[in-house]
């Protein structure tokens, strides 16, 4: 099948079999994967542990050599340096030089993109402020907590203002504030036209930010499509009404039942634990002093707050 | 025309980026490697072992100062090999295992660039080590007892002043590194490594201002070079207040050792793309042994023409080990050094090419 170069990521029959020392096959991590990620979308790669998500991502970045199949990233092969210069990658585990400080780490990665000292220094300060590490910027990253190292990793992935951002479990190790910030960041980047490919075990996170998802299992693609389409229950409708007292709600339910001629269920949605946590720890704009705040135009989707919810 | 110029510009931009990448990766490798306590301990051991020879010298071999010189050069080769293999192993094998290499290769960095930069980094560490140990060797040879006849003095004279300065310099370097770490959180390993290295170079340089009896040379007037162990004639028109009584004939020999270390760095870097640090060190040590033993070893098995076979695979270390050539006032010609340099560069290029080919195929998962 011909590859469409307009797609940001395109794989056809992609395979990866790991070999042992004697070149005998050990694991078939990815089996004939067809995947398409289009310009400007946020794509979620889901799957249980060991399903081949990270393996796929590493093949996209030219870290692993595919055993078979075709692969195009930004219209080029994964080892094309010009294409790679337009990609940002956050590995599954933040691999950092333990003796460097976050500032040195970011300058180092900036120089790998050929930035001059001045450019690198400027970009570094912006990113440090963005991931909220400006205070810890002179401590060695080797002693950082998991979430702090993750933040450095995230900053490092953005150092070249990438067109394609590949995030392997970006929220792992982050506190709820961090998770929320990452999700906000992904949304903002997507608005500016950046294509994002991310994996995550936190399905709620994926649901919040991704336009399309693919579900891998045992190296095989099991499902793919728009989240809204995949999750839609075509034979049910749900209303959300705020500020209605119990009595009015009950009479409304009865009316609806009479009109529809079917049973109508009524419940009171709780706020999500994430929302609650953010409210508790949001001391004087803690969640908001994240440097992205100016970009945060719309409230997070999927954030369900108090109100009556009726489902038919 | 426009297309051609654009192509040229992208090429230069690509070249500039590659150079920046080389500098960044090599620089980080140097900082990270000399930050490790083991690197600094290797340097300190080599320097102290070299400086201690004049202190504990109970025998005199054929020539004054020869024992100090030979031990200094041996320390340079053996400790340097350990440093090269250890640094290569840590900065290549361990980075591959830890995933740091993958994070770098995930950026627009060609695998060949990465490996070349790693080699340059290892070479940088080895070169810093080499500066320190070369200076210590020169100092140690000067401080050894030399037989002198001077107007009112005939007999053996050591140079306790310089020796004391060399030890004190090492101590001060360590203390400074500790203070810098305490006061300004500067990396101890880096300060200590650079400090010990610089202290030896400084002592070697400063020792030119006085003779081995500790008397400063007069600023003007006739050279009071009586304490000189160099055994050469001094022209009347030379600088009188500065006279380095160092056996500078050691320099070409030391440079040859540096070439050998560069070759071993390349070998270790190439090996580290597949092997762990210990294994890479073992292979390098074996290569050194075989390379040095050369003919004497192969003579045991004259029937097998393995010599010819091995010569193609292993660098001939004998080309780089010319300690005996400068005994009794002998010289090593710079032309020879240049030729050996070309040979070393060829070996490095070969090892690195093989290393790149192996590394290109490797999965960084
Ligand atoms: N370098 C490797 N050598 C051998 N097998 C490997 C290697 N890397 C991954 N595998 C195997 O490939 C399979 C897929 O691994 P992968 O890391 O892609 O899973 P994943 O979907 O990212 O899982 P997780 O959700 O736990 O991160 C696993 O069975 C794993 O053991
Ligand atoms: Mg994974």
Q: Which residues line ligand 1 (CB under 6 A)?
A: A 18, 26-27, 29, 47, 49-55, 92; B 365
Strand pairing report for A265-267 and A9-19: unpaired
Q: What is the pLDDT of residue B289?
A: 77
Q: What is the pLDDT of residue B2?
A: 59
Q: What is the pLDDT of residue B298?
A: 54
Q: What is the mean pLDDT of residues A6-31?
A: 92
Closest by CA position to B113, among listed B31, B14, B13, B261: B14
Q: How confident is the model at residue A312 (pLDDT cuts 50, 70, 90)?
A: very low
Asked if residue A3 belongs to a domain, the reply is no
pLDDT at A277 over 90: no
Asked if residue A4 belongs to a domain, the reply is no
Structural contact between residues A266 and A253, judged by C-beta atoms closer than 8 angstroms: yes
The DSSP code for A100 is S
**Looking at A207-211, A214-218, B13-17, B37-41, which range is the least confident one?**
B13-17
User: Residue A218 Cα, ligand 1 centroid: separation in angstroms?
Assistant: 10
First to last CA, chain A: 45
With CB atoms and an 8 Å threshold, state whether A100 touches B32: yes
With CB atoms and an 8 Å threshold, state whether B364 touches A89: no
Asked if residue B365 belongs to a domain, the reply is no
Please check whether residues A211 and A245 belong to one and the same domain.
no
Asked if residue B3 belongs to a domain, the reply is no
Asked if residue A312 belongs to a domain, the reply is no
Please check whether residues A110 and A218 belong to one and the same domain.
yes
Name which residue sits closest to atom 8 of ligand 1, judged by CA.
Answer: B365
Q: Which residues of B touch A93 (CB under 8 A)?
A: 99
pLDDT tens readout for residues B71-106: 999 999 999 999 999 999 999 999 999 889 999 999
> Degrees (nearest 5) of the Cα angle A192, A197, A198?
115
The DSSP code for B210 is B
Structural contact between residues A73 and A4, judged by C-beta atoms closer than 8 angstroms: no
Q: What is the pLDDT of residue B159?
A: 85
Q: Which of B20, B32, B105 sits opposite A114 (nearest CB)?
A: B20
Please check whether residues A26 and A56 belong to one and the same domain.
yes
pLDDT tens readout for residues A88-120: 999 988 778 888 999 999 999 999 999 999 999
Please check whether residues A230 and A246 belong to one and the same domain.
no
- Enter the tokens of residue B142: 């000067």
pLDDT tens readout for residues B288-302: 877 776 656 555 555
Extract long-range pairs of A125-130: CB within 8 Å, 24+ residues apart. A127/A155, A127/A158, A127/A159, A128/A102, A128/A103, A128/A155, A129/A291, A130/A155, A130/A158, A130/A185, A130/A290, A130/A291, A130/A292
Please check whether residues A115 and A56 belong to one and the same domain.
yes
Structural contact between residues A62 and B104, judged by C-beta atoms closer than 8 angstroms: no
Q: What is the mean pLDDT of residues B244-256?
A: 91
pLDDT at A268 over 90: no
Q: Which residues of A touch B108 (CB under 8 A)?
A: 81-82, 84-85, 112-113
Within chain A, residue ranges assigned H as helices are: 53-60, 81-84, 102-112, 117-130, 146-157, 176-191, 203-209, 227-231, 246-260, 273-281
Q: Which residues of A touch B365 (CB under 8 A)?
A: 18, 55, 58, 63-64
Of A50, A170, A215, the residue with max ligand 1 atoms within 8 A of its CB, to mutate for a pocket test, comes to A50
With CB atoms and an 8 Å threshold, state whether B102 touches A113: no
The yes/no answer to whether this complex scores an ipTM above 0.90 is no
How many whole angstroms separate alpha carbon B351 and alpha carbon B315? 10
Nearest residue on chain B to A140, judged by CA atoms? Answer: B187
Q: Which residue has the higher pLDDT, A151 or B200?
A: B200
Please check whether residues A222 and A247 belong to one and the same domain.
no
pLDDT tens readout for residues B117-141: 999 999 999 999 999 999 999 999 9
Name which residue sits closest to atom 1 of ligand 1, judged by CA.
Answer: B365
With CB atoms and an 8 Å threshold, state whether A99 touches B13: no
Q: Which residues of A touch B16 (CB under 8 A)?
A: 114
Domain interval for residue A242: 238-291
pLDDT at B115 over 70: yes
Q: Which residues of A touch B35 (CB under 8 A)?
A: 99
Nearest residue on chain B to A60, judged by CA atoms? Answer: B106
Q: How far does CA B230 lie from the centroid of its chain?
A: 24
Q: What is the pLDDT of residue A311?
A: 47
**Looking at A32-36, A133-137, B229-233, which range is the least confident one?**
B229-233
Please check whether residues A67 and A79 belong to one and the same domain.
yes
Compute the count of residue pairs across chains A and B with CB atoms less than 8 Å apart: 83
- Enter the tokens of residue B182: 């305490």
Q: What is the pLDDT of residue A91?
A: 92
Point out the domain boundary residue: A234, A253, A279. A234
Asked if residue B45 belongs to a domain, the reply is yes
pLDDT at B58 over 80: no
Ion ligand 2 — residues with CB under 5 Å? A 53-54, 92
Q: What is the mean pLDDT of residues A16-27?
A: 91
Please check whether residues A224 and A249 belong to one and the same domain.
no
Asked if residue B331 belongs to a domain, the reply is yes
Q: What is the pLDDT of residue B299?
A: 55
With CB atoms and an 8 Å threshold, state whether B103 touches A95: yes
Extract long-range pairs of A78-85: CB within 8 Å, 24+ residues apart. A81/B14, A81/B108, A81/B110, A82/B108, A84/B106, A84/B107, A84/B108, A85/A113, A85/A160, A85/B107, A85/B108
Nearest residue on chain A to B12, judged by CA atoms? Answer: A114
Asked if residue B149 belongs to a domain, the reply is yes
How many whole angstroms separate alpha carbon B292 and alpha carbon B257? 12
Please check whether residues A99 and A81 belong to one and the same domain.
yes
Q: Output the average pLDDT for chain A.
A: 84
Atom of ligand 1 nearest to the CA of A51: 21
Share of chain B above pLDDT 70, in %: 83
**Binding-site residues on chain A for chain B (CB distance < 8 A):** 18, 55, 58, 61-65, 81-82, 84-85, 87, 89, 91, 93, 95-97, 99-100, 108-109, 111-115, 138, 156, 160
With CB atoms and an 8 Å threshold, state whether B108 touches A82: yes
Asked if residue A70 belongs to a domain, the reply is yes
Please check whether residues A31 and A70 belong to one and the same domain.
yes
B185 CA to chain A: closest CA distance, Å?
A: 9
With CB atoms and an 8 Å threshold, state whether A97 touches B23: no
Asked if residue B252 belongs to a domain, the reply is yes
> Degrees (nearest 5) of the Cα angle A244, A246, A248?
60
Asked if residue A55 belongs to a domain, the reply is yes
Q: What is the mean pLDDT of residues B235-253?
A: 76
Residue A222 belongs to domain with CATH number: 3.40.50.300
Q: How confident is the model at residue B305 (pLDDT cuts 50, 70, 90)?
A: low
Please check whether residues A278 and A141 belong to one and the same domain.
no
With CB atoms and an 8 Å threshold, state whether A112 touches B107: yes
Of A24, A45, A48, A54, the residue with max ligand 1 atoms within 8 A of its CB, to mutate for a pocket test, comes to A54
Asked if residue B227 belongs to a domain, the reply is yes
Q: What is the mean pLDDT of residues A37-43?
A: 94
Point out the domain boundary residue: A203, A234, A265. A234
Q: What is the mean pLDDT of residues A167-190?
A: 88
Q: Which residue has the higher pLDDT, B226 or B329?
A: B329
pLDDT at B356 over 60: yes
Q: Which residues of A touch B98 (CB under 8 A)?
A: 95
Q: What are phi and psi of B180, to 5 degrees?
A: -60, -40
Q: What is the pLDDT of residue A304?
A: 35
Share of chain A above pLDDT 90, in %: 44
Q: Which of B17, B105, B187 sits opposite A63 (nearest CB)?
A: B105
| Number of domains forming the structure of chain B | 1
Q: How confident is the model at residue B339 (pLDDT cuts 50, 70, 90)?
A: very high
Q: How confident is the model at residue A124 (pLDDT cuts 50, 70, 90)?
A: very high
Q: How confident is the model at residue A71 (pLDDT cuts 50, 70, 90)?
A: very high
How many whole angstroms separate alpha carbon A56 and alpha carbon A66? 9
Nearest residue on chain A to B274, judged by CA atoms? Answer: A21
Please check whether residues A152 and A262 belong to one and the same domain.
no
Asked if residue B2 belongs to a domain, the reply is no
Domain interval for residue B265: 16-360
Q: How confident is the model at residue B66 (pLDDT cuts 50, 70, 90)?
A: confident
Q: What is the pLDDT of residue A303?
A: 38
| Number of domains forming the structure of chain A | 2
């Amino acid at each position: 099948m011909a590859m469409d170069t307009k797609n940001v990521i395109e794989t056809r029959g992609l395979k990866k079999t790991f070999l042992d020392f004697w070149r005998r096959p050990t694991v078939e991590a990815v089996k004939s994967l067809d995947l398409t990620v289009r310009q400007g979308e946020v794509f979620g790669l889901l799957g249980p542990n060991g399903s081949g998500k990270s393996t796929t991502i590493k093949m996209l970045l030219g870290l692993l050599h595919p055993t078979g199949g075709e692969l195009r990233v930004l219209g080029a092969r994964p080892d094309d340096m010009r294409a790679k210069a337009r990609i940002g990658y956050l590995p599954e585990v933040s691999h950092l030089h333990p003796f460097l400080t976050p500032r040195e780490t970011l300058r180092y990665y900036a120089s790998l993109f050929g930035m001059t000292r001045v450019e690198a220094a400027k970009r570094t300060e912006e990113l440090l402020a963005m991931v909220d590490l400006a205070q810890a910027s002179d401590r060695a990253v080797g002693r950082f907590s998991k979430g702090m190292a993750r933040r450095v990793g995230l900053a490092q992935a953005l150092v070249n203002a990438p067109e394609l951002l590949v995030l392997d479990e970006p929220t792992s190790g982050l506190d709820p504030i961090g998770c929320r910030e990452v999700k906000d960041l992904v949304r903002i980047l997507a608005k500016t036209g950046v294509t994002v490919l991310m994996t995550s075990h936190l399905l709620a996170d994926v649901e919040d930010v991704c336009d399309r998802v693919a579900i891998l299992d045992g190296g095989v693609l099991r499902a793919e499509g728009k989240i809204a389409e995949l999750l839609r229950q075509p034979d049910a409708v749900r209303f959300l009404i705020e500020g209605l007292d119990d009595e009015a709600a009950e009479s409304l339910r009865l009316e609806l039942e009479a009109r529809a001629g079917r049973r109508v269920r009524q419940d009171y949605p709780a706020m999500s634990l994430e929302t609650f946590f953010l409210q508790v720890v949001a001391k004087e704009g803690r969640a908001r002093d994240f440097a992205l705040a100016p970009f945060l135009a719309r409230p997070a989707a999927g954030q369900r707050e108090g109100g009556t919810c009726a489902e038919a | 025309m426009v297309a051609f110029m654009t192509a040229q510009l992208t090429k230069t931009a690509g070249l500039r980026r590659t150079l920046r990448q080389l500098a960044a990766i090599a620089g980080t490798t140097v900082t990270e490697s000399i930050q490790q306590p083991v690197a600094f301990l290797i340097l300190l051991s080599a320097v102290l072992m070299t400086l201690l020879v004049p202190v504990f010298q109970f025998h005199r071999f054929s020539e004054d100062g020869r024992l100090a010189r030979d031990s200094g050069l041996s320390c340079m080769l053996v400790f340097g090999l350990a440093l090269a293999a250890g640094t290569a192993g840590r900065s290549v094998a361990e980075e591959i295992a830890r995933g740091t290499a993958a994070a770098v290769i995930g950026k627009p960095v060609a695998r060949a660039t990465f490996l070349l930069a790693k080699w340059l980094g290892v070479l940088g560490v080895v070169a810093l080590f080499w500066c320190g140990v070369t200076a210590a060797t020169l100092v140690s040879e000067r401080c050894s007892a030399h037989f002198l006849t001077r107007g009112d003095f005939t007999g053996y004279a050591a140079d306790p002043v310089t020796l004391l300065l060399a030890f004190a310099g090492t101590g001060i370097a360590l203390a400074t590194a500790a203070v810098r770490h305490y006061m300004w959180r500067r990396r101890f390993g880096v300060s200590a490594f650079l400090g010990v290295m610089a202290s030896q170079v400084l002592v070697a340089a400063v020792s030119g201002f006085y003779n081995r009896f500790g008397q400063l040379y007069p600023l003007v007037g006739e050279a009071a070079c009586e304490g000189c162990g160099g055994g050469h004639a001094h022209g009347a028109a030379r600088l009188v207040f500065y006279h380095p009584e160092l056996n500078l004939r050691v320099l070409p020999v030391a440079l040859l050792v540096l070439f050998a270390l560069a070759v071993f760095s390349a070998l270790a870097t190439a090996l580290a793309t597949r092997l762990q640090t210990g294994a890479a060190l073992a292979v390098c040590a074996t290569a050194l042994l075989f390379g040095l033993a050369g003919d004497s070893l192969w003579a045991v098995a004259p029937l097998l023409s393995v010599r010819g076979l091995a010569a193609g695979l292993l660098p001939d270390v004998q080309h780089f080990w010319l300690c005996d050539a400068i005994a009794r006032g002998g010289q090593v010609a710079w032309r020879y050094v240049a030729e050996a340099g070309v040979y070393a560069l060829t070996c490095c290029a070969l090892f690195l090419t093989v290393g790149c080919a192996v590394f290109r195929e490797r999965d960084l998962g």
